[in-house]
Amino acid sequence: MASIFTRASARRGISSIQARPFSRALVRQKSALSPPYLLDDYLPKYQLLTSIQESKKRSEAYAHLSNCNLCPRLCGVNRFQKRGTCLIGSDVVVNTIAPHFGEEPCLQGHHGSGSVFFSGCNLRCVFCQNHDIAHQKNGFSLSPEELGEWFMKLQQVGNVHNINLVTPEHVVPQVVLSILHAKDLGLRVPIVYNTSSFDSLASIELLEGLVDIYLADFKVWNPATSKRLLKADNYADVAMESIKAMHNQVGDLSFTSDGLAKKGVLLRHLVMPGHEEEGKHIVRWLAENVSKDLYVHVMEQYHPRAHVGQKRRTTAGRARDVAEGTVEPGAQPADGEAKKAVRYEDINRAVKMDEVHSVKAAAEKAGLWRFCEPAEQAGFHL
């Protein structure tokens, strides 16, 4: 357990608490699994809603579906009749529903995180690691009630530790309705909202009392970068507001004694090649404006995907990109030498370990101290 034991002392069965002299850092290490981060027991927040609160949530969800301004794209469409930027109507489109073992150890545990991968997205990240799911509408349609029934299958058949809603920013009303339906059916595991943080405050407010864990990304810092790579120049401003609102709702990440996360914010930052300075801005902002006790996962698994490294598009291909919202601003159709070049060449490589380490070092220097370590082969740890 990286937060409590050094690797060497863990092998010897000696905690770092015994091995090191008393210090402020030591008190903090010890408190990672002590109150207030250690819970005796945990009841998911949706279990505490009264029937009046549930009815209010339901009517708000339907109102948002009828005039959708629920994410920062502000389409204003009636989703029972029309689709906005996210391309999804009043039903959700789901690509995969299954216990997932690729999440943080404190979420996947031994039985997996009950993941629901939604198709569609309100961002257009050119490097999207789930491109085949998020940028296309591959999958099957489900009503909110059918989705709630799948949550029950994950709980009953998969014995999962939580319900993990992956890329849900554009289907928040349907998610609200599905959680309430599943509550009536007997759902009792925590809800994880696994988001890019391109959420509106109205959306986070609608989720209050329903979500236990916000698994939130903070992707890039500069507007020029987010405009070019995410197709949203206001990404960082939106993410800052959303993450603060999420943290106000559920606080820092807390665990039960089995090592499973039950409530709070788990913040992810995927270090991008050549963009480590933006990562440093992000971790400093988090420490200064959200919480120095924030549980942070500095991720190193970036790989070129989606549009990165593809051949430059011809005029016809570019027209398709414009329609999909994934064209480089100001880019010209490829001709001659340009056809040989690849798109987004600057991020067409894996991230280097020194880039990752520099972001982690900046995070520590800023005062952050609760970091997620990768899962070990057998079992899981904090």
For residues 73 to 92, the per-residue mask of contacts with ligand SF4, x marking binding by CB under 6 A and - elsewhere, is xxx-x------xxx------
Residue 322 CB partners (closer than 8 Å, separation 6+): none
We find the least distance from the C-beta atom of residue 63 to ligand SF4, in angstroms, to be 13
Distance between CA 203 and CA 269 in Å, rounded?
Answer: 22
* CA atoms within a 13 Å half-sphere pointing along the CA-CB vector of 8: 3
For residues 123 to 162, the per-residue mask of contacts with ligand SF4, x marking binding by CB under 6 A and - elsewhere, is ----------------------------------------
213 binds ligand SF4 (CB under 6 A): no
We find the least distance from the C-beta atom of residue 131 to ligand SF4, in angstroms, to be 18
We find the least distance from the C-beta atom of residue 75 to ligand SF4, in angstroms, to be 3
User: Which phi and psi (to 5°) does residue 117 adopt?
Assistant: -95, 110
Has 71 been labeled as part of a binding site?
no
Shortest CA distance to 68 belongs to which of 166, 171, 178?
Answer: 171
66 binds ligand SF4 (CB under 6 A): no
The footprint of ligand SF4 on this chain (CB under 6 A) covers a number of residues equal to: 13
Helix ranges (H only) for 290-343 are 315-324
We find the least distance from the C-beta atom of residue 171 to ligand SF4, in angstroms, to be 7
167 binds ligand SF4 (CB under 6 A): no
* CA atoms within a 13 Å half-sphere pointing along the CA-CB vector of 226: 20
From the list 69-77, 232-240, 248-256, 285-293, the region that binds ligand SF4 by CB under 6 A is 69-77
We find the least distance from the C-beta atom of residue 121 to ligand SF4, in angstroms, to be 9
Record the tokens describing residue 225, joined without a space: 């970068």
Has 121 been labeled as part of a binding site?
yes
Residue 164 CB partners (closer than 8 Å, separation 6+): 100, 103, 107, 113, 114, 115, 116, 192, 194, 215
Q: CB atoms < 10 A from the CB of 315, how many?
A: 10
From the list 64-72, 133-141, 217-225, 240-248, the region that binds ligand SF4 by CB under 6 A is 64-72
Question: Quick one: 44 or 84, whose CB is closer to ligand SF4?
Answer: 84
Nearest residue to ligand SF4, using CB?
Answer: 84
Among 122, 226, 242, 326, binds ligand SF4 (CB under 6 A): 122
Distance between CA 187 and CA 25 in Å, rounded?
Answer: 39
DSSP 118-184: ES--S---TT-TTHHHHSS--SEEE-HHHHHHHHHHHHHTS--S-EEEES-TT-HHHHHHHHHHHHH
We find the least distance from the C-beta atom of residue 13 to ligand SF4, in angstroms, to be 51
Shortest CA distance to 249 belongs to which of 287, 210, 295?
Answer: 210
From the list 63-71, 129-137, 237-245, 268-276, the region that binds ligand SF4 by CB under 6 A is 63-71
Binding site for ligand SF4 (CB under 6 A): 68-71, 73-75, 77, 84-86, 122, 170
Annotated binding-site residue numbers for [4Fe-4S] cluster: 121, 125, 128
